[in-house]
Structure 1
Amino acid sequence: MENEEKRMIDSYEVEQSIHIGTKEVVFGVDKKSEYPFLVCYCTYDNIFSAAQAEKAIISDDYLEAMQEFLNRVQEQVKITQTEKEKYKCDLKPFTIEDCIPDDKGKSIVGKVVVVNAEVNRYEYRHSVYQLVLAEGGNGAIGGRGRAVMGTCLAEGKYARWERSDILGEIKPEKMPDWAKEALAKIQTQKKLKKAKSREER
């Protein structure tokens, strides 16, 4: 649906977009259309998929469309703030002092590592979104590779990081309770998925 060369959504060229939280709010224009203004959300199911447009509206009134765009941005701000407030812990970003030093030549697969907060978008630059269960990738096994594939403990989403963005393995005493619970849940889900996969063979 989306053309990567000239950011298009169907016949609408993307003129404004703001990514807040889990969604990107998009404002597009098709000057040849009877309804030249488009507002929609764009979401990404995983790191390998193209953006999917959701809840699109079109209008022939620029101000009406722009107001809708701004309303959606504000709504995403509220949702993201509410998510942040769920965590009753110190949100100060983890630093290298909170980690077991990372030896780039050794494997970190199966370990909970700390991602440098500065690689995250601004709304996610706090401790909650720094903890990742490293699961694979050439960078995760050590050596010359760069890619670290893993699951963010806070979101439960599988994504890619660079080994250079990993500060190290979180020290056991620095691991917050919510993260321990999230890790146990993720590990249980993976075991169940593997067991189901074996049964289906």
Structure 2
Amino acid sequence: MVDDFEKVMQRKFKMSSMGTIKFFLGLQVAQTNKGIFLYQTKSVVDILKHFQMETERPAKTPLSVNHVISPYCEGSKVDQTLYRAIIGSLMYLTASRLDIMLAVCLCAHYQANPNVHHMLVVTMILRYLKDTQSLGLWYPCDDGFELTAYSDSDYGGCKKDFKSTSGEVVLNKGEPAKETEE
């Protein structure tokens, strides 16, 4: 059916078929008969190299549990352009790396006036990426898909405006695809 659809599309539109998708808008795509795995390992490596973080020691989490990211952090100012470049690169990675979403979004609040404390947090995110380069999103195609969801929230936990913050994670019991060379 896929081949027939491709032929119909080629007759109606000017297009060509390049085979199985491997890259799409910066996302790497691994397809198997068990499902699809989206990841950005190449982008993570490029970002670490660009910001000269490939030799830094890895971090276990993108953000410490009792983080104190706030506009009132003491510290000298840092290069705004560099800080914004790192945040922009990290935002790009959140397409397949939901594990860094909260930390990156918290840091993005301080792009107008970043200081050394904010830069240390951003550096920790980069160090976390160093050890977790191959993480991504797994979409299984079997019917045995089982979701498990967790939610966490705190009342008044945001240091900027003291609003409630929350986080969720949704997991499945499937195994991620292994990339195969063809």
- Fold-level similarity (TM above 0.5): no
Determine which structure has the larger strand proportion and give its number: 1
